[in-house]
Amino acid sequence: MKTFGTWLTWDDARAALTGRLPATDLDLLAAAYAFAAERHAGQTRPAGEPYTRHLLEAAEILATELAVTDAELLAAALLHDVVEDTPTTSAEVAQRFGPRVAALVDGVTKPPPGPGEDPAAVRRRYLIGLRDLPADGLRLKLADRYSNVQRLHTHPRPEKQRSYYAETCRDLVPLAAVDPRLAALFADWERAYAYLADTPA
């Protein structure tokens, strides 16, 4: 099973992308990363690593596995959680990085529950709605999810490992048909973590 995570810093990402993208695109990505790093400052992933590692992994998957050179899609990967997990608004993303980047981020942003809404129902509605994303939005969401699950065994809560495996298999793996490279990644991942389906709750 393939894992990603060689881009630990923006300097790593820039070095990998230099020669593949024009300088203006690299500048856009540098600005997106700096903005995301500032907004996510102090946040960590469940296993304790800095949150920015996840953002870089999502961009790395797109750029290295899917050969994406679309700077706006890569910028959206770096920014994909700023609206969901920080006080940043979609309008602010649009103002700073343009309407397409904002639309890509919006497409993968889970809305907060409204007054009296069941969070589980909101999440289910969000997951079902992913089916309607355009192809680039699906690639972004799947890169995000693959980053989240590629080291699922490191999550500190076994019950979350099981529920996240089941959710990913049910709602995300079918969407990987959008790109055969993603389909192959997720098929290998599903097999590698199949033991979670058989682990008692």
| Size of the chain in residues | 201
- CA 29 from chain center: how many Å? 16
As separate numbers, helices (DSSP H) first and strands (DSSP E) second, the chain gives 11, 0
Please give the structure tokens belonging to residue 14.
Answer: 């820039």
Whether the Cβ atoms of residue 137 and residue 62 lie closer than 8 Å to each other: no
- Is-catalytic flag, 171? no
Find the catalytic residue in 25, 49, 84, 179: 84
Find the catalytic residue in 25, 85, 167, 179: 85
Rounded distance between C-alpha atoms, residue 102 and residue 173, angstroms? 25
Q: Classify residue 47 as exposed, middle or buried by CB count within 10 Å of its CB (0-12, 13-18, 19+).
A: exposed
Rounded distance between C-alpha atoms, residue 47 and residue 120, angstroms? 23
Please give the structure tokens belonging to residue 78.
Answer: 């770096």
Phi, psi of 44 (to 5 degrees): -130, 165
- Is-catalytic flag, 85? yes
Please give the structure tokens belonging to residue 3.
Answer: 């894992």
Residue type, 142: L
Query: What are the catalytic residues?
Result: 84-85
